[in-house]
Amino acid sequence: MPFTFKQFHIDDTDCGMPVSTDGVLLGAWAPVTTAQQILDIGAGSGLLSLMAAQRNPDAQIDAVELDDGAAAACQRNIAASPWSARIRLHHASIQAFSAHTTQRYQLIMCNPPYFASGPQASNQARAQARHTLSLTFAELTACCQQLLTADGVACFIVPTSALNAFQAAATAAGFHWQHAVAVSSVVDKLAQRQLVLLANHQPTEPWGNAPFAICDKQGEYTATMRQLTQDFYLKL
């Protein structure tokens, strides 16, 4: 369904995964402000690319999307935004894209598929977006390692249940594990998701590693969530 933010509009009608809180969290949390070249892997509707373009007026952004319907929606959303000149869509898998580009990025963002097994959605596009059918953690982290600059960082949001598997793949790819920020849906509940930062260098100091909740017990956004998303959500 269409979703309007403060400075852009998203129509995710043909996307396997619609606009989600996870995507907004990652787009608001990722350290985009100093990156000149940004890569959005599995761009879907274009949400992360558009959030990055809003936050960093100097960045050039490449969005990579495999699915036909999502790529078409992404292109429409980019074209309708104020930043269409700075975002390029590549209709391809990240494996194919990484094999044919010489570009390197200071920041890579991805809200990856994370289910390796279990029931799959009947909708093929949704199944592909949610399950590691065509992009395993090992493939994803290997591509990111290839495409990242020596001083760059890669940011992801993954379920807590998949964190160990993701960390193992990242380590095998040669990444240093920088931070994992635990995010719960409600205060005092277990964290269902983790915001992850990877880099090619050892961490030098803590960064953004305090856990937080999206909502308080009354169902209102917490102060941390409001601070993160106030530039995007219309009601904040």
Number of domains forming the structure of the chain: 1
Tens of pLDDT, residue by residue over 187-223, are: 999 999 999 999 988 876 655 568 999 999 999 999 9
Strand partners, 212: 183
Using CA atoms, how far apart are residues 27 and 51, in angstroms rounded to an integer? Answer: 6
Task: Give pLDDT, residue 206.
Answer: 54
pTM of the model: 0.90
Task: Report the amino acid identity of residue 84.
Answer: S
Domain assignment present for residue 122? The answer is yes
Domain assignment present for residue 234? The answer is no
Confidence class for position 134, pLDDT limits 50, 70, 90? low
Domain assignment present for residue 235? The answer is no
Confidence class for position 130, pLDDT limits 50, 70, 90? very low
Tens of pLDDT, residue by residue over 152-181, are: 999 999 999 999 999 999 999 999 998 899
Domain assignment present for residue 154? The answer is yes
Pairing type for strands 176-186 and 193-199 reads: antiparallel
Task: Give pLDDT, residue 114.
Answer: 61
Tens of pLDDT, residue by residue over 82-100, are: 999 999 999 999 999 999 9
Strand, helix or coil for residue 82: coil
Q: Domain containing 12 — which CATH number?
A: 3.40.50.150
Tens of pLDDT, residue by residue over 33-65, are: 999 999 999 999 999 999 999 999 999 999 999
Domain assignment present for residue 30? The answer is yes
Work out the burial of residue 79: count CB atoms within 10 Å of its CB; fewer than 13 is exposed, 13-18 middle, 19 or more buried: exposed
Range of the domain at 218: 2-229
Task: Give pLDDT, residue 123.
Answer: 41
Domain assignment present for residue 236? The answer is no
Task: Give pLDDT, residue 52.
Answer: 98
